[in-house]
Chains A and B, each alone.
Chain A
Amino acid sequence: MKPLGTGSDDLTGHGGDRPPSAGLYVHIPFCRQKCPYCGFFSVPSPALIRPWMKTLLKEILLYEEGFGPFDSLYLGGGTPSLLSIPELTRIMTHLRAHFQFRPDTEITLEANPCDVSPEKLWGLRELGVNRISLGVQSFDARALAFLGRRHTVRDAENAVRHVKEAGFDNISLDLIYGFHAQPLQSWKETLHQAVSFAPAHLSCYELTIENRTYFGKLVQTGGLSPLSPDEARTCFLITSRLLEAYGYTHYEISSFARPENRYARHNWKYWRHAPYLGLGPSAHSFVNGRRWWNVRSVRTYMALLNRDERPVGGVEDLTESQLRLEAVALGLRTREGVATDRIGPSMEAQSRLSHLTDAGFLEICNGRVRPTRKGFLVADYLPAYLC
């Protein structure tokens, strides 16, 4: 696995650990139907879109002061591509009216392959969207059926083509692996096919079974068995090696970029404690060591805003040591790692660190501790062990 970056190891281009500009996230909590594995907050109630939008515009006003300028905007969900161009236009107009954006702001929209007609894509370009994250998930019909997706392989292929034809050069494809309905061979083929479209970015997620999802219930009742850790490990390693062979940089557990400066600018902020503002139900915000999150319900969200209250569900102020723990945990999920001095000077911490480097889980490079590919595989374990 090649080290990240040439010369500077800072993807953000802001130098060292200095916090990058703020990011803005808008959660659009609607889907046509709920996917059986999805733990994101979304509801299959398109009728709520209109009234909800009104309240979103109210929420924007609440944060007019104090944030920005932003250099990333992420329209996520849910399925933002469900919204029509006029609806998205209203949102964008409002955002631009009340927030400041840098001229080169990266504006991402998550799209379902069914929703990307050429006309829609043109409309999105006009709105300033310059990055499309496409929920392809797989190029294997059986896998798509297992995942309960409503699009076909054909839809997916056409969607990618349309996005490219519409002139988007910053495309990310979301793919899911690690389930029995998609044997390793099929997964490799999906990867090859994904790469054949030469997207700048790939997010390859191992299927995570969350308790609150339909799959979670299936697992509990024995209707579904997850991969063994060894099988999952193999999938992870093959994904990483294959995509790196194609010239992608494996810069985060599930994220790959080619060239490496096409990393997901907005997501990167989550991993670097950069400030971000999240709007919409369930969205999280973080600034100056304070984190807060909106309620996880469209109706409560609307009700609160209609009473001119913040739709906030919880707040926490992180202590110095919590910040440190998070910084290490988040940093070690990225190839850039964390600054060595974050690990702590105690004898014990240092001996654990050298133990992990000796065993090939971490490497130290330019004053930073970085996970190797093997380290990525145990990234959830490393911080508690080190800190």
Chain B
Amino acid sequence: MPNIRNFSIIAHIDHGKSTLADRLIQMSGLVEDRKFRDQILDNMDIERERGITIKSQAITLPYEDKTGRTFALNLIDTPGHVDFSYEVSRALASCEGVLLLIDAAQGVEAQTLANLYAAMEHDLEVIPVINKIDLPAADVDRVREEIEIDLGLDSDTAILCSAKQGTGIEAVFEAIVHRIPPPADNNKARLRALIFDAHYDPFRGTIVSCRVFEGCVRPGDTIRLMNNNARYKVEEVGIFRLAKEARKELCAGEVGYIISGIKRVSDTRVGATITLDHEPAPAPLPGFRDIRPVVFASLYPVASDDYRALADALEKYTLNDAALTYQKDSSAALGLGFRCGFLGLLHLEIVQERLEREFDQAIVMTSPTVQYQFQLTSGDRVLVDNPLYYPDPTTILQGFEPYIRASILLPERYMGVVMELCTERRGVNARFSYPTVGRVEIRFDMPLGEVIYDFYDRLKTVTQGYGSFDYDLLDHRESDLVKLDILLNGERVDALSQIVHRDGARSRALRICNRLKEEIPRHLFKIAVQGAIGGTIIARSTIAPFRKDVTAKCYGGDITRKRKLLEKQKKGKKRMKMVGAVSIPQSAFVAVLKSENE
């Protein structure tokens, strides 16, 4: 049995995890230099376009230490953004240790701390690594101090490196093999393997990624999923190189994949334990904690007949994104769809994009919302995460909305504008601290609903990109909540309804009306766009009709061109949603979510 080390690289966003993984991969000699590209583990198009990691990615590296001992290092690169923290927590369940990266110029940040706690929960060996020491702004001493004070770790154990320039990498390798404990040797025990990820392959069915804790699994074995007792014959097992690499077996301590012709997508669940059918383990592994979505929105197919296809796509998609929760939903304007829960706004955006790109789904997404609570006159207290189910206002005694503790780290010079933004967003109870000279951290209690709207965008704008933002959920607090409806020529577009605080309702309504005016193409008739609370109109805009659209000539030579144009228009029409006689393009639903400054 080889010497195995299982570890994740964790950090705050952009601290250089994927770049460090690059260096480790390169030094292990797994990839020829000329075939190398930066952030090689970020292999999804969206990751490369956005320059961030979205999915955890495992890879097994060969390594030989100074004494000539050989190792198999199972590295998992994780995302740093808070919206993908579920990816991190699942990766950690497969590891005995972590590299905790800290950007030498940025220092310890919100996710540094959050990820450290997660690693400690799993009782993992933590190796602090100070990265980007090549930067002129690098301040290693300050970071050491933060490691001591904020993280409570021994800063003498920290390794210094520049992932970009490739310095200090040898020390990282040595720390991995010498400080991270090997996995327990449990080959003889009954098989228990934890599914930490999966994806659907149209030819081979569901392919699961797993960490084997006990026993071994080989092609030909009949495995059993302990959550539902489904049985499958194993076709192939293997490890992750840059592509999958088949092996004779996967044994305790190893991280790899299993292909077993699982065609029914719903059988597999991330967090489930795999065992052998003829020799089952007595009990499953603990699995993962349940996810608690914070942002909710509905997805609808653009063309109503595509509902089944969307259902199918979602089922497959969630194999690969366990953080997405969904259930059936329906709307008068948009037909059948799904109510989805997300871990945050970026998560929401990524889900939408991946469904469109990887599964070719044309979807309309409704305004995201948070989960509200209403105390009713009947004595009941109801949870509402969908404006469709806003209770009859006459029965509402009190409304409550979730609050967060927002913490915003920024250069001092932006303090004024950020304070203004936060109070405009109903932030209260401001507290300040000055972690380093020139930087200030502001903490606010703020409604989550204000944040999901367009807060990130606005913060980025007012701080010219220098503000970083993080939050924890606090509690539900009483709030004067109303339901804002949007009407087109008097017909309510239920998919555009929102629950908002009364004070902000009018300006929100106005903004939406103006947005829709820009996005909905002119029709043959005038369209009144109105925002209303109950029966009261609080905002309106008007889309003037177009009154001329005709070309003077149409003879033999013009007909084909004209028809092709019509066919194109018809296609475009299919992608529109009808409310009464008004066609609304998909872009209008999206635009409503965007901030006014964009």
Contacts and interface: CB of A to CB of B under 8 A. Distances in A.
Given A376-B550, A378-B547, A379-B550, A270 B556 contact: yes
Q: Which of B524, B525, B560, B578 has the most CB of A within 10 A?
A: B524
Interface string B565-598: 1110110010000100100000000000000000
Interface string B534-558: 0000000000001111111111110
Contacts of A205: 552-553
A313 to B, nearest CB: 11
A64 B566 CA distance: 35
A325 B567 contact: yes
A384 B560 contact: no
Contact of A359 (B525, B552, B557): B525
Contacts of B573: 384-385
6 cross-chain pairs, A with B, having the tightest CB-CB distances, nearest first? A384-B569, A284-B556, A205-B552, A233-B548, A381-B549, A206-B552
A253 B552 contact: yes
B559 interface: yes
B563 interface: yes
B493 to A, nearest CB: 18
26 contacts: A207-B552, A208-B553, A230-B547, A230-B548, A236-B550, A253-B550, A270-B556, A271-B554, A276-B556, A284-B556, A293-B560, A325-B563, A325-B566, A325-B570, A326-B563, A329-B562, A355-B581, A356-B524, A359-B524, A378-B546, A378-B548, A378-B549, A379-B549, A379-B550, A381-B546, A385-B524
Interface string A342-383: 000000100110011001010000000000000011111101
Contact of B524 (A267, A316, A378): A378
Nearest to B583: A385
Contacts of A233: 547-548
B563 A361 contact: no
A286 interface: yes
A229 B548 contact: yes
A352 B525 CA distance: 12
B547 A229 contact: yes
Interface in B272-291: none
Contacts of A329: 562-563, 566
Contacts of B548: 229-230, 232-233, 236, 377-378
A208 B551 CA distance: 7
A387 interface: yes
Q: Which of B550, B551, B565, B581 has the most CB of A within 10 A?
A: B550
A254 B553 CA distance: 7
A380 B549 CA distance: 6
Contacts of A267: 555
Contacts of A232: 548
B448 to A, nearest CB: 40
Interface in A243-286: 253-254, 267, 270-271, 276, 278, 282-286
A333 interface: yes
A330 interface: yes
A293 B558 CA distance: 11
A39 to B, nearest CB: 9
A361 B553 contact: no
B570 A25 contact: no
A322 interface: yes
Contacts of B546: 229, 378, 381
A387 B553 CA distance: 22
Nearest to B573: A384
Contact of B581 (A270, A322, A352): A352
Interface residue SS majority, chain A: mixed
B559 A326 contact: yes
Contacts of A236: 548, 550
Nearest to B568: A384
Contact of A284 (B549, B552, B559, B563): B559
A329 to B, nearest CB: 6
Contacts of A253: 550, 552, 554
Interface string A71-102: 00000000000000000000000000000000
Interface in A275-319: 276, 278, 282-286, 291, 293, 316
Interface residues of A, number: 48
Interface size class of B (residues with CB under 8 A): 20 to 34
Nearest to A231: B548
Contacts of B551: 208, 380
Contacts of A376: 550
A283 to B, nearest CB: 7
A330 B556 contact: no
Contacts of B557: 282-284, 293
Contacts of B553: 205, 208, 254
A361 B556 contact: no
B579 to A, nearest CB: 13
Contact of B555 (A270, A316, A348, A378): A270
Contacts of A384: 566, 569-570, 573
Q: Which of A233, A267, A270, A384 has the most CB of B within 10 A?
A: A384
Given A232-B548, A325-B567, A25 B556 contact: yes
A266 to B, nearest CB: 9
Contacts of A352: 581
A23 to B, nearest CB: 9
Given A286-B559, A329-B562, A348-B578, 19 more contacts: A205-B552, A206-B552, A208-B551, A208-B553, A232-B548, A233-B547, A236-B548, A270-B556, A270-B559, A283-B556, A291-B559, A333-B554, A361-B524, A376-B550, A378-B524, A378-B547, A378-B548, A381-B549, A384-B570
B581 A381 contact: no
Nearest to A233: B548
B560 A316 contact: yes
A208 B556 contact: no
A1 to B, nearest CB: 15
A25 to B, nearest CB: 7
A377 B581 contact: no
Nearest to A269: B556
A48 to B, nearest CB: 20
A291 B561 CA distance: 12
Contacts of B565: 380
Given A208-B551, A229-B548, A278 B562 contact: no
A378 B563 contact: no
Nearest to A178: B552
A27 to B, nearest CB: 9
A383 B550 contact: no
A207 B553 CA distance: 10
B47 to A, nearest CB: 39
B245 to A, nearest CB: 50
Contacts of A25: 556
A236 B550 CA distance: 10
B339 to A, nearest CB: 27
Contacts of B562: 326, 329, 380
Interface string A41-53: 0000000000000
Interface in A172-213: 205-208
A286 to B, nearest CB: 7
Interface in A125-146: none
A319 to B, nearest CB: 11
A376 B552 CA distance: 10
B193 to A, nearest CB: 53
A15 to B, nearest CB: 24
A158 to B, nearest CB: 27
A31 to B, nearest CB: 16
B547 A291 contact: no
Contacts of A387: 566, 570
A139 to B, nearest CB: 19
Contact of B547 (A351, A356, A377): A377
A290 to B, nearest CB: 12
A196 B432 CA distance: 87
Interface string A9-27: 0000000000000000100
Nearest to A254: B552
